[in-house]
Amino acid sequence: MGSTLYSRKKKRLWLKGEESKHFQFVKEIYLDNDNDTLLIRVKQIGGACEEGTRSCFDKMMKGGEFINVATPIFDPKKVYKNYSDTIIFVIPYGSLHHSTIMLLQRAGFSLELRGERSFKPVIKNRQDIKLVVARAQEIPGMVESGQVDIGLTGIDLVEEYDVSITDLADLNYNENGAGEVLWVLSVPQEKQDEYKSLKDFNGKTIYTELPNTTKKYFLDHDVKVEIKNSVGATESKAPFFGDAIIDLTETGKSLKDNGLVPLYKIRGSATHLIAHNHSLAYGWKRKKIEEITEKLKVAAKKLPKNHKRIIKLPNK
């Protein structure tokens, strides 16, 4: 019987050796006296560690510090068919692009940008990191599918699309610097007095770019609405096509300019660094991703504060 485990990195059941063919054949299984720990004796074929050693316990305490004592027994480049130590990193275009470029530069990455509409930026001082650019809405799916290793996007979109990824860090920035933005429920100014509470939205039509989140919000508050998907220019949808909208804002100025009044906060959001689950399963990629994560976390604290006044709204 082969050793089959639940991998927290891959987030799935995983047959040990399924890719490398370095299987573990189970010989005996023991349970401790607290009934909470298993000890499994196996016959190991080849190396057990993806970095090429027989065991992942590769360091021993000597003289008060851990010393690497592992001896490589195979070359990961030859064993893993998809081996690559290059990190594919997708960053958002659009409203988050400028602040993301600023973040990368403050993290010590020297960027080559070919004009204001540069869709192929290059990190000149890190040949092992390849940047690609995509719309923020595309990035959660790109990371989940493994098209890229890591990406920067709003946590609102990650939760909207219900993707299976690893959330590495809340970098807490938006297009204007450090801080979050809000998704708000807004109505036409001339209709404002019709909505004394959330219950007054029963039977109304709501346009939004966040339909799944919107559905959950109204279900949680026991309000029945019709939700329509918007793919842009959401402010134009009410009152011509719907009764209200849910859109992203900071100060509410764009809403006001379009004759809309924000009434309720649906949720907040900020930019997060996310990773493909499988990319973290390999030590050679995981170490680089962890290094990038720490650099970005430090850099995010150096971003300028967003001095715009964020509107204050009730949640319900």
Tell me which of 56 and 264 has the higher pLDDT. Answer: 264
Tell me which of 199 and 74 has the higher pLDDT. Answer: 199
261 within 8 A of 186, measured Cβ to Cβ: yes
Pick the CATH number of 4-79 from 3.10.20, 1.10.287, 1.10.357, 3.40.50: 3.10.20
- Does pLDDT of 103 surpass 90? yes
Pairing of strands 181-188, 244-249: antiparallel
Confidence of residue 243 (pLDDT cuts 50, 70, 90): very high
* Per-residue pLDDT reduced to its tens digit, 226-237: 999 999 899 999
Pick the CATH number of 181-269 from 3.40.1080.20, 3.40.190.10, 3.20.20.70, 3.30.360.10: 3.40.190.10
Tell me which of 118 and 283 has the higher pLDDT. Answer: 283
* Per-residue pLDDT reduced to its tens digit, 120-151: 899 999 999 999 999 999 999 999 999 999 99
Task: Report pLDDT for 211.
Answer: 97
Least reliable range by pLDDT among 14-18, 103-107, 149-153, 169-173: 14-18
Confidence of residue 312 (pLDDT cuts 50, 70, 90): confident
Pick the CATH number of 87-179+271-300 from 3.20.20.70, 3.30.420.40, 3.30.980.10, 3.40.190.10: 3.40.190.10
Q: Which segments of the chain belong to CATH 3.40.190.10?
A: 87-179+271-300, 181-269
